[in-house]
Structure 1
Amino acid sequence: MSAVESNLLLAHCTVLDARVVDGADPVPDAAVWVRGDRIAAVGPYAQVAAQAQAAGAVREVDLDGAYLTPGLVNMHTHLSLSLPGTGGDDVKTMGPHDLAYYMADGARRTLHCGVTTVRCVAEKDHADFALRRAIAAGRVQGPRILTAGRALVCTGGHGHESSDTLECDGPVGFRRGVRSQIKAGADLIKVMISGGIAGEHERINTPQLFTDELAAVLETAHAWGRKVTAHAGPAEIIGAAVELGLDCVEHGYQLTPQVVTRMAERGTALVPTLLVTRCKEFFDELGVPEWMQCRSLGAGPRHLESFAMAVDAGVEVLLGSDMPPFWHFEGTNATVRELECMSERIGPARALHAGTRGPVRWLGVEEDRGTVEVGKLADLIAMDEDPLTATSAFRGVRWVMKGGRIARDDRTEAA
């Protein structure tokens, strides 16, 4: 891994920004001056080059007419995912050392896909905190990590079989659960409030928390300045959670017009994870049992309808794959394939927003990332096709920078 370059001029590119949905125009024949780990200038090539050269020696990196965008943000990540089946069993039986290497390899692959920030929403044994420290220290390549630590579940609730969840009961138990994750370093809290597609002894619409338990989670997390996201499927359960102040819904398999209207009014975001109900090849690869495949794939049509309702109601929809971000799937990686599925409904410009600026605003880190602006961290990716014409352009990501470090350059690797 190379050291941070102190003075780089990223030349001959078209700069695209998630602010296009607000009317910002792409900048053709542009340059971005990166000094240290941040963007020092962006604009027409001649103007930025003169500014950079006047400040001292600068090394030019010719991007050969590529389209340059902010790095992608995946808001539903499990680097230690272990679904039912033989593939998941292999991960569950890993010792702590094997798990650390496994997750570090996933983090490197994730970054190379063009994902420069992830939101982890349930990882095993708090290994995510060690991985975050290793990445920050430069010992491991990977994206910036914001994490919920272990997800909170009721006794026997969704995901209880794995060490990426923490069983709690009653308001006092859930308050303690929230505080334990914050003590470990959690940036947000994840809670399972309904059944899902991966629980053999539950249904998608099985309620799993009482009102006083969820209220305790929300009150405690918000008092500590942490947002709460919830694994949730059915409209009735989601609607009640939204009224209590839930910040984000994961999946939302069975929404209704009434519930999405309230989500939009109250600012509750949706990470739809569309791939999880249309990924038979992935399930077959991992040996996922038939009962789970039937439940997942059977939920697909209703899932898409729910997503469409949310979009039409004005709910903020954000990119999140649930599948490991780097996983090769249908000719690309899971992150890009999820974004393509979203784009079919929201279009390429909104998809760019959903994969960059929207997530960082929810995460509260918009001062540092999500757009190509002066002062922002130099988390940037480049591709040869225009992602405002087709989201599939992200399949061609060939150059990745995170914080002034060039993490991937296909031209250099080919040479």
Structure 2
Amino acid sequence: MVFRVRGITLPDRVEQTFVVDGDQLRVDPASGAELLSDGGWLLPGLVDTHTHPGTEATTDTFDEDRLRRHLRQHRDAGVLLVRVPGAAARIPKWVDDEPDLPRVHSAGRWLATPGRFYENYGRDISENDLAKAAVEESLASSGWCKIIGDWSPQDRPVPLDVLSDAVAAVHAVGGRVAVHGQTAEGCHNAVMAGADSLEHGMHLDPALLGRMAAQGTALIPTFTTFDGIVERARANESDPLRDWLIDGWDGMLATVRAAFDAGVTVLAGTDCLPFGNVTTEIDWLLKAGLPPEAAVGAASWTARAWLGVPGLRDGAPADLVVYDEDPTADPGVLARPKRIILRGQVIR
């Protein structure tokens, strides 16, 4: 099926007509293809850069039917590209060939060294084997691997030299590394090791933001998941772990704004259930003080560029979402997509 879609593109704010020809967008003013959608605002699909489809609880085994269901929930919300920074099992290759599922960039299995993750939930390895395992997971996935860099504030994080060796090994084979960091030392080690992304960043020292910007380490704060965790923690009596969690959370809005001001790439990732709720993370980025265009871009064109996926241009993948109004003027419209086109297929 070949058809045309016309509207104002974001972030360029140019009226454009695209011909959707299979899984490709073309700019062809002379095309006589059917005009499927005329008017509105065009985005290259939303992006969730930190989501874990296929499991719902740490006691779950990875389930392919559950994976399909979760990915369709993303799709129906206009999320047409996801990055899965770690899973209980490698995302199966058939996902890439399913025409009705979002595109997936996967980091393979979580890599957890002793005492630094939920028991038997990721790939448990020794610190000595971390670099080798990181390379294996990156080569077996979409080029990413995910390392659990720290866990409890009472335990030491992955040592800087061990983490640096793993990052260097993955970079040597053309891969990229996401690091879970939520303690001050764990975040420090992730940044100093040259990780490509810092997931969460709770207790991140603002003194590291300049280095993050210079070396291209992105920050994915996942406000959405921590919001519920912290609210439950506030109802409990004071103890060191609870107080550490709340203290870190209370500083995150200011840290994320400071990161954006310092030139760090800040992206939207939800981490948790329900799937397809990246608009909630956009709302949190707005609360942190990001300008609306930056907050929306963090879940769309900015995230795509960071992942190496083109936006709305000639020859790009045929993924786009149409909205009646400008989502940078009213981000609430992101919850009401008018048209969803994925891999050239009309979903809505």
Asked if TM exceeds 0.5, the reply is yes
2:67 pairs, out of 85, 95, 103, with 103
Contact 2:20 / 2:318 at 8 angstroms: preserved in 1? yes
2:35 pairs, out of 60, 68, 71, with 60
Q: Distance in 1 between matches of 2:140 and 2:211?
A: 33
Residues 238-262 of structure 1 deviation map (CA, whole Å, 9 limit, x = unaligned)? 2333222221101111122211122
Question: The residue matched to 1:278 in structure 2 has which SS?
Answer: helix
Q: Distance in 2 between matches of 1:76 and 1:295?
A: 23
Q: 2:38 matched to 1:76? A: no
Question: The residue matched to 2:286 in structure 1 has which SS?
Answer: helix
The residue that corresponds to 2:94 in the other structure is 134
Q: 2:123 matched to 1:166? A: yes
The residue that corresponds to 2:106 in the other structure is 147
Q: 2:315 matched to 1:379? A: no
Q: Distance in 2 between matches of 1:383 and 1:357?
A: 15
Query: Structure 1 residues 135 and 226 mapped into 2: Cα distance closer, same or farther (>3 Å)?
Result: same
The residue that corresponds to 2:80 in the other structure is 116
Residues 377-406 of structure 1 deviation map (CA, whole Å, 9 limit, x = unaligned)? 111001222112022221111321112111
What TM-score do the two structures reach when normalised by structure 2?
0.89
The residue that corresponds to 1:273 in the other structure is 222
Q: Distance in 2 between matches of 1:398 and 1:176?
A: 46
Aligned residues: 342
The residue that corresponds to 2:141 in the other structure is 185
Identity across matched positions, percent: 23
Question: The residue matched to 2:94 in structure 1 has which SS?
Answer: helix
Contact 1:277 / 1:298 at 8 angstroms: preserved in 2? no
Residues 113-160 of structure 1 deviation map (CA, whole Å, 9 limit, x = unaligned)? 11111110111222x1x2xx333323x631111111111111121234
Gap runs ≥5 in structure 1: 19-23, 43-47, 196-201, 285-289, 328-332, 410-415
Q: How many Å apart are 1:68 and its aligned residue?
A: 1.4
The residue that corresponds to 1:224 in the other structure is 173
Question: The residue matched to 2:50 in structure 1 has which SS?
Answer: strand
Kindly report the root-mean-square deviation, in angstroms, between the aligned alpha carbons of the 2 structures: 2.6
Please show how residues 205-216 of structure 1 align to structure 2 within 5 Å.
Answer: 206-216=155-165
- Higher helix proportion: 1
Residues 12-51 of structure 1 deviation map (CA, whole Å, 9 limit, x = unaligned)? x3x2223xxxxx3x234x4322222111117xxxxx3xx1
Query: Structure 1 residues 282 and 397 mapped into 2: Cα distance closer, same or farther (>3 Å)?
Result: farther
2:298 pairs, out of 334, 337, 354, with 354
Q: 2:249 matched to 1:262? A: no
Query: Structure 1 residues 398 and 280 mapped into 2: Cα distance closer, same or farther (>3 Å)?
Result: farther
Contact 2:160 / 2:192 at 8 angstroms: preserved in 1? no
Contact 1:153 / 1:160 at 8 angstroms: preserved in 2? no
Contact 2:100 / 2:345 at 8 angstroms: preserved in 1? no
The residue that corresponds to 1:40 in the other structure is 26
Q: How many Å apart are 1:310 and its aligned residue?
A: 1.0
Contact 2:55 / 2:66 at 8 angstroms: preserved in 1? no
Contact 1:78 / 1:122 at 8 angstroms: preserved in 2? yes
